[in-house]
Amino acid sequence: MRVVSPFLIALLLVVAPDWALSQDYPSRAVRIIVPFAPGGATDVPARLIAPKLTEFMGQPFVIENRTGAGGIIGIDAVAKSAPDGYTLLMASNAEYAMHPAIYSKLPYNLSRDLVLVSIVAEQPMLITVGAGSPYATLAELIAAAKAKPGGIAYSTAGTGSTSHVLTELLAGQAGIKLLHIPYKGGAPASTAVATGEVAMSLIAMSSVLQFVKSGKAKVLGVMRSRRVPGYTDWPTVEETGVQGVDDSIWIGMAVPAGVPRNIVTRLAAEVSRALRAADVRERLGALGIEPVGSTPEESAARLQRESARYEKVIRAANIRSD
């Protein structure tokens, strides 16, 4: 008769609870914490895929907007939650790839406490000005900024946001200095451009598109290497002569570290499945949002690349928030 080693028995006792937990996942409602207000660039993709995840996985996936401190409060809640797959995070590349270089005293360690499940979607960042702006092209705006360093104010979704870091990246590549005016989110930052409170903004397409369509704002450039389908009259930044920029805002799903691997991979697969649904793609496309649906491995690799890239920009621009 074969004798089972005590070590193997002990190992099975350790892993069996997690294995059993993951086999019937999910068996109750799952929270998706969005650390920003409803209607923003992070919230919209979450609300579009949540009903599909509910349908595919047989339990409610419920959005919870837990705002405050530039997203830190909501992220901290996820990082400190039980690693069982019932608390998920939807956040942007600002929180994942930029905040660690901006904040010296975050209450969590992103690389230790969270695991990216999937990069869900990304969208272009648009350089916009008000309809009454004297600048008809990005080249004209850059020339004015060079003539008066710090004299042109730009709005962002907040200090340390994607719009903040990428505007400083643009300024560095163009050789100009701008004046940063932070707002509490992409919506008020876009409104500030449309009403003339600030001269310009580099903001997510979904935040500013309503003002562009209504004629209250105009687009001078797209922060990508290719033009936006359906809006091919918008030039890319590189076409205006500024090189070294091909950046976007992306939204990713994460879970606390320690969630069983088969739950992580299943969530990634179901997110990708949700993003293939025709109605989801149509609604995202109307906002200029591109569905992605990467694997955990692909997500981690992209995060590592971009974190190193943006840390250099953040250091050069001296972007700090504490």
Written as one string, the DSSP assignment of 235-261 is PBTGGGT--S---EEEEEEEEETTS-H
The token duo for 73 is 């409060």
- Over the chain (322 residues), the average pLDDT of each successive run of 10 is 54 52 86 89 93 98 93 96 98 96 94 97 96 96 97 93 95 96 89 97 93 97 92 94 92 98 98 98 91 97 96 93 72
The token duo for 49 is 């895929």
For residue 25, the SS3 value is: coil
For residues 160 and 319, the answer to whether their CB atoms sit within 8 Å is yes
Q: Which of 266, 321, 312, 300 is nearest to 96 (CA)?
A: 300
Could you please report the per-residue DSSP string of 126-140?
A: EEEEETT-S-SSHHH
What's the rounded Cα separation, in Å, for the pair 127 and 148?
A: 19
- Is 212 exposed, middle or buried, given 0-12, 13-18 or 19+ CB atoms closer than 10 A? buried
pLDDT at 91: 96
Task: Determine phi and psi for 92, rounding to 5 degrees.
Answer: -100, 175
For residues 89 and 255, the answer to whether their CB atoms sit within 8 Å is yes
For residue 114, the SS3 value is: strand
Quick one: DSSP state of residue 121? Answer: E
- For the chain, which residues make up each domain, given as ranges? 23-122+249-317, 124-240
Distances (CA, A) of 118 to 108, 207, 228, 291: 20, 22, 23, 11
What's the rounded Cα separation, in Å, for the pair 79 and 96?
A: 12
- CA-based torsion, 35, 41, 42, 45: positive or negative: positive
Q: Same topology for domains 23-122+249-317 and 124-240, yes or no? A: yes
In CATH, which superfamily holds the domain spanning 23-122+249-317?
Answer: Bordetella uptake gene, domain 1 (3.40.190.150)
Distances (CA, A) of 75 to 64, 87, 106, 248, 319: 12, 11, 10, 21, 20
pLDDT at 294: 97
Quick one: DSSP state of residue 5? Answer: P
Q: Looking at domain 124-240, which of 3.40.50.1100, 3.40.190.10, 1.10.1200.10, 1.10.533.10 is its CATH number? A: 3.40.190.10
The token duo for 299 is 């997500």
What's the rounded Cα separation, in Å, for the pair 322 and 301?
A: 28
